[in-house]
Amino acid sequence: MGSREVIYYHDHLLVKEPGTRERTPWHHDQPYYPIDGEQIVSLWLPLDPVDRATCVEYVKGSHRWGRWFQPKFFRQGGVDLAVQDARFEPLPDLDAERERHEFLAWDMEPGDVVAFHALTLHGAAGNLSSVRRRRAWATRWCGDDARYAARLGQISPPIDGHGLKPGDRLECALFPRIL
Ligand SMILES: O=C(O)CCC(=O)C(=O)O
């Protein structure tokens, strides 16, 4: 991030049982969060071996498009959040325009990690393995320029009780500074 400080925002564990067909829909992370700033990084860390076809796939350079897309819940391959911030655009059909972008994905082992900007578009297939679980731990970290922001739509996860106001630095009991 090129940041002097690091604040822990949130994490989630994604478990796809063998043979799961449900995709992780295309999305980028920052529109889900009430956070503005450039220095926000997501770490995606598989807890099982995953091959390129089952790993998360990233649209190279999409964090520099200057566009913010409407967030979706992951269930059923992607369901719009009920109340959307009108400033966010509907996501284009990235699968229909694959030849216009460069997609990145890797064979990964437990202990590998992908670090990506919170505006990098990404998505994933289901779990194509019929025998192995596909577990991954995803964590979000914020740097010096991250500020609490008002969103006009729903946020996810719905974290509250922090007492922050728009423009505040994030550091608080819920979002601890770890560096
Ligand atoms: O593991 C997955 O399928 C998706 C993870 C992801 O998109 C995220 O954590 O933002």
Q: Ligand 1 centroid vs 28 CA: distance in angstroms? A: 10
Ligand 1 within 6 A of CB of 124: yes
Residue 163 in domain: no
Ligand 1 within 6 A of CB of 50: no
Residue 126 in domain: yes
How many domains does the chain divide into? 1
Please report, in tens digits, the pLDDT of each residue of the chain (179 residues total).
Answer: 999 999 999 999 999 999 999 999 999 999 999 999 999 999 999 999 999 999 999 999 999 999 999 998 888 777 787 788 888 999 999 999 999 999 999 999 999 999 999 999 999 999 989 999 999 999 999 999 999 998 888 899 999 899 999 999 999 999 999 99
Residue 22's domain is classified under what CATH number?
Answer: 2.60.120.620
Residue 121 in domain: yes
Residue 178 in domain: no
Measured from the CA of 124, which atom of ligand 1 is nearest?
Answer: 3
Ligand 1 within 6 A of CB of 24: yes
Ligand 1 within 6 A of CB of 47: no
Question: Measuring CA to CA, how many Å separate 136 from each of 4, 27, 132, 165?
Answer: 27, 17, 13, 32
Helices vs strands, H then E, count in the chain:
0, 12
Residue 71 in domain: yes
Residue 1 in domain: no
Q: Which residues pair with 108 in a beta bridge?
A: 50
Q: Ligand 1 centroid vs 12 CA: distance in angstroms? A: 9
Range of the domain at 19: 7-148
Residue 2 in domain: no
